[in-house]
Amino acid sequence: MDIYILALLVLIINIPFGYWRANVQRFSFQFILAIHIPVLLIILFRFLSAVGFEFTTLFYTVPVFFLGQYAGSKIYSFRKENGLQPLTSCLVMDIIRVEDK
């Protein structure tokens, strides 16, 4: 697996988790889970790919991790400010429910 594909996966995985993190109380158990579950998934992807744990790969994956978390929280804020209901902690279900109406 190429480092750029891994970075793209990290970004895509972190968007829903950033959305979840934006909907829970700061430093709660769910907040911590929303940050650390994607880390475990990224470690799994690194084991399954040929990228490994080289120091130079951190320059690609760490910023993209935070970008995905930030993008997810901004999507939540946008939906909340524009009154797009329902707002839960699950981005996928919120999008499906809005499209059904």
Question: How does pLDDT run along the chain (101 residues), one tens digit per residue?
Answer: 688 999 999 999 999 999 999 999 999 999 999 999 999 999 999 888 888 888 888 999 999 999 999 999 999 999 999 888 778 899 988 888 766 55
The model's pTM:
0.89
Please state, in angstroms and rounded to a whole number, the distance separating the CA atoms of residues 68 and 74: 10
The Cα 79–Cα 61 span in angstroms is: 27
End-to-end CA distance of the chain: 40
Using left for φ > 0, alpha for ψ between -120 and 50, and beta otherwise, residue 4 falls in alpha
Smallest CA-to-CA distance from 35 within 56, 19, 51, 58 is with 19
Counting residues of the chain whose pLDDT is more than 90, the rounded percentage is 62
Instruction: Provide the sign of the torsion angle of the four alpha carbons 72, 73, 78, 81, taken in this order.
Output: positive
